[in-house]
Amino acid sequence: MIVVGSDHGGYELKMAVLELLRKRAVECVDFGTDGSNSVDYPDFAAKVAAAVSSGDAQLGILICGTGIGMSISANKFSGVRAALVHDEFTAQMAREHNNANILAMGGRILTIEQGKKLVEVWLDAEFEGGRHQNRLDKITAIEQQVIKG
Ligand code: RB5
């Protein structure tokens, strides 16, 4: 399951992404926001990241104006690897090298078509494992140290 959230700056792209996921028959849940009224991005990042962190959802997509606030917020959650992507290359690397479980995008940076394309590239790419898994293990080790410290 993919959980999807945005603030007002990402609302329009979020609705287009949900339509794309439904067309692809991907199970998805809309965690808001529900319109263009100004809201606070950490509230929506927390809902999506908590679902991914707990394992209730396998993947998440977060969209704000730039994607920056969403990625900063989501990466506070244990086990979350949120990647802010701007183009097809970063979307592909986010999966192949970083195995990002949350995709963050900027609704005020990308066109609707660009944003949908980045979602497709990220979904269709595959994690390469190997040396990249070793690096993810090091991220997990850092996370555990920080929690203990
Ligand atoms: C909201 O104006 C804007 O700050 C937000 O959408 C996002 O870009 C934050 O990182």
Asked if residue 85 lies in contact with residue 70, where contact means CB atoms within 8 angstroms, the answer is no
Domains and CATH numbers, the chain: 2-148 (3.40.1400.10)
* The ligand 1 atom nearest the CA atom of 64: 6
Reply yes or no on whether the pLDDT at 147 is more than 90. no
Does any ligand 1 atom lie closer than 6 A to the CB of residue 99?
no
- Residue 106 CA: which ligand 1 atom is closest? 8
φ, ψ of residue 106 to 5 degrees: the values are: -105, 115
Could you tell me which residues are beta bridge partners of residue 92?
A: none
Model's pTM, two decimal places? 0.98
Confidence class of residue 40 from pLDDT cuts 50, 70 and 90?
very high
Condensed to tens digits (0 to 9), the pLDDT of residues 93-137 reads 999 999 999 999 999 999 999 999 999 999 999 999 999 999 999
Judge whether 64 counts as a catalytic residue: yes
Give yes or no for residue 149 having a pLDDT over 90: no
